[in-house]
């Protein structure tokens, strides 16, 4: 029997010919990503381990993003701890404010994620790295400290589920809608512990950015990892960013999957996840008409160039509804610069949007866009848990960038497909 992508990656890093689901292995880790919450968090376990430096085989990347620029003194102290740790450990890849952006986006965009690698982070959405065929997974600060100090970590080999997505997505139906649809199908617990491999014509037709969105959002299904086989597009993207790109680790043709689940998505409508769970998805029609006060376009899920380009195309020559504030947060400085170069930011500003620096801010409910009691926000981020974006008495709906922008213009949750050729019908 052949091996799945994750089985091959784990076997390779554990020095074994093969591994079985359920087996516990100790595997070498390639990259540890830390941000301004995780870096302060690992200080104690790192010290308790008796560690003085980072293991030689570990490429450590530090990207402050959660509370930047510091909204409180406590955040400033954490950023200081983060900066000083990077300095003390001689971390080569430290992204000072203004030079990085949201961690998962910067990781992929700057070529820190390569096919076949094992990358861990004290941040759950490290699954994003699966878009490039790496095993990316989030864990706690103790694990992150061990990985940094010992260069290896224990892993339980997950069962792999293959998801085959057939058909062709309609206009204004995006990767985010596919992810929200899958979450609705599977709920928050059906796929816990599993590694998921995403394949099929829908995936083949997706940009790398869209795959990042799906791999990011898949975490909400409880998966350990969500992998996409790198194709020519991914490999050429990576070759422009990294000195040496290893050959992709692909599943064997006779790999043993726990399940193969097939869907046809040709008729998929935009999906909106109603409060307070990402798995509470509904076709946009069912929630259309709900009044909103805030619309948020950003986060590591949907703050990428393709998202901003689509948003600008929809907003060109139009304005945000009087009763709504549209907050736009580019996911990285590189995206921000490119969006300025392409005139996208100008379109947002002219439409009356509020554009922020790249940060986790509104997504994590930290700063730059909290909601008040009784307010409703439609958000392109990945979590709508109660209280996530501010008041526990606020309501968060999750949706694609197209739905967020259509709603921002309409003042209520709206179906972007009613904009034909850009004109509201």
Partner 1 sequence: MISGKVWKYGQNVNTDAIYPAKYLVHFEPEEVVRHVMEGLDPEFIAKAKPGDIIVAGDNFGCGSAREQAAMAIKLAQIGAVVADSFNRTFYRNAINNALPVIALKGISKEIAEGDEIEIDMETGKIIDHTIGKQWSAVPTPGFILDILNMGGAIAYYRGKIGH
Give whichever of 116 and 358 is closer to ligand SF4, judged by the CB atom.
358
Three-class secondary structure of residue 32 per DSSP: strand
Q: Is 391 in the site for partner 1 (CB under 8 A)?
A: no
Residue 375 C-beta-side C-alpha neighbours within 13 Å: 19
What is the spatial distance between Cα 414 and Cα 412, in angstroms, rounded to a whole number?
A: 6
Give whichever of 107 and 191 is closer to ligand SF4, judged by the CB atom.
107
Q: Is 363 in the site for partner 1 (CB under 8 A)?
A: no
- Which residues contact ligand SF4 (rule: CB under 6 A)? 65-66, 102-104, 123, 125, 299-300, 360, 363-364, 381-382
What is the spatial distance between Cα 104 and Cα 61, in angstroms, rounded to a whole number?
A: 11
Q: Is 123 in the site for partner 1 (CB under 8 A)?
A: yes
Do residues 376 and 293 touch, judged by C-beta distance below 8 A?
yes
Closest CB 19 distance from ligand SF4, rounded Å: 30
φ and ψ of 72, to 5 deg: -140, 165
Contact with partner 1 (CB under 8 A): which of 18, 53, 92, 171?
Answer: 53
Binding residues among 147-176 for partner 1 as defined by CB under 8 A: 149-150, 154, 156
The stretch among 145-153, 198-206, 331-339, 413-421 that binds partner 1 (CB under 8 A) is 145-153
Of 158, 194, 200, 138, residue with least CA distance to 175: 200
Q: Report the partner that residue 417 touches, choosing among ligand SF4, partner 1, none (CB closer than 5 to 8 A by kind).
A: none
Q: Is 41 in the site for partner 1 (CB under 8 A)?
A: yes
The 10 Å Cβ neighbour count of residue 243 is 6
What is the spatial distance between Cα 382 and Cα 108, in angstroms, rounded to a whole number?
A: 18
Closest CB 362 distance from ligand SF4, rounded Å: 9
Closest CB 299 distance from ligand SF4, rounded Å: 4
Do residues 330 and 363 touch, judged by C-beta distance below 8 A?
no
Give whichever of 209 and 415 is closer to ligand SF4, judged by the CB atom.
209
Q: Are strands 419-420 and 423-424 parallel, antiparallel or unpaired?
A: antiparallel
Alpha helix positions (H), 89-192: 103-109, 141-150, 175-186
Give whichever of 25 and 131 is closer to ligand SF4, judged by the CB atom.
131
Element (H, E) at 25: strand 24-28
Three-class secondary structure of residue 199 per DSSP: strand
Closest CB 143 distance from ligand SF4, rounded Å: 17
Q: Is 70 in the site for partner 1 (CB under 8 A)?
A: no
Q: Is 349 in the site for partner 1 (CB under 8 A)?
A: no
Three-class secondary structure of residue 388 per DSSP: coil
Give whichever of 195 and 331 is closer to ligand SF4, judged by the CB atom.
331
Closest CB 335 distance from ligand SF4, rounded Å: 13
Q: Is 269 in the site for partner 1 (CB under 8 A)?
A: no
Give whichever of 117 and 381 is closer to ligand SF4, judged by the CB atom.
381
Of 342, 338, 329, residue with least CA distance to 303: 329
Give whichever of 198 and 362 is closer to ligand SF4, judged by the CB atom.
362
- DSSP per residue, 205-270: TS-HHHHHHHHHHHGGGT-SEEE----HHHHHHHHTT-S--PPP----TTB--SEEEEEE-TTPPP
Q: Is 222 in the site for partner 1 (CB under 8 A)?
A: yes
Residues that bind partner 1 (CB under 8 A): 24, 26, 37, 41, 44-45, 48-53, 55, 74, 122-124, 138-143, 145-146, 149-150, 154, 156, 188-189, 192-193, 222, 224, 385, 387
């Amino acid at each position: 029997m052949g091996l799945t992508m994750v089985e091959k990656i784990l076997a390779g890093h554990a020095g074994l010919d093969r591994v079985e689901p359920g087996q516990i292995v100790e595997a070498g880790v390639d990259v540890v990503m830390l941000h301004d919450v995780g870096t302060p968090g690992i200080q104690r376990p790192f010290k308790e381990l008796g560690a003085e430096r980072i293991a030689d085989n570990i490429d450590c990347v530090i990207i402050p993003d959660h509370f930047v620029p510091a909204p409180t003194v406590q955040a400033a102290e954490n950023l200081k701890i983060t900066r000083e740790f990077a300095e003390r450990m001689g971390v080569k890849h430290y992204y000072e404010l203004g030079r990085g952006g949201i961690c998962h986006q910067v990781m992929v965009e700057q070529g820190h994620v390569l096919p076949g690698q094992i990358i861990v982070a004290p941040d759950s959405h490290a699954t994003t790295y699966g878009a490039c065929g790496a095993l990316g997974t989030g864990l706690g600060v103790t694990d992150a400290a061990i990985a940094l100090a010992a260069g290896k970590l224990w892993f339980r080999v997950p069962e792999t589920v293959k998801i085959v997505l057939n058909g062709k997505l309609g206009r204004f139906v995006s990767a985010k809608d596919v992810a929200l649809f899958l979450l609705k199908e599977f709920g928050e617990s059906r796929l816990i512990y599993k590694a998921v491999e995403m394949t099929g014509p829908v995936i083949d037709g997706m940009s790398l950015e869209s795959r990042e969105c799906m791999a990011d959002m898949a975490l909400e299904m409880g998966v350990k990892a969500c992998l996409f086989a790198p194709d020519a597009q991914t490999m050429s993207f990576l070759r422009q960013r990294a000195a040496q790109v290893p050959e992709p680790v692909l599943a064997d043709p006779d790999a043993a999957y726990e399940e193969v689940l097939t869907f046809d998505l040709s008729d998929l409508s935009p999906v909106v996840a109603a409060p307070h769970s990402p798995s509470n998805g509904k076709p946009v029609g069912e929630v259309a008409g709900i009044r909103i006060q805030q619309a948020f376009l950003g986060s590591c899920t949907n703050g990428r160039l393709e998202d901003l380009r689509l948003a600008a195309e929809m907003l060109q020559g139009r304005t945000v509804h009087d009763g709504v504030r549209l907050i736009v947060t580019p996911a990285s400085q590189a995206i921000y610069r490119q969006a300025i170069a392409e005139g996208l930011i100008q379109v947002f500003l002219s439409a009356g949007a509020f554009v922020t620096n790249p940060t986790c801010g509104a997504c994590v409910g930290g700063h730059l866009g909290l909601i008040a009691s009784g307010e409703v926000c439609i958000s392109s981020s990945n979590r709508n848990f109660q209280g996530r974006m501010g008041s526990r008495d606020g309501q968060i709906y999750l949706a694609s960038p197209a739905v967020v922008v259509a709603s921002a213009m309409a003042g209520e949750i709206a179906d972007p497909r009613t904009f034909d050729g850009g004109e509201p019908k």
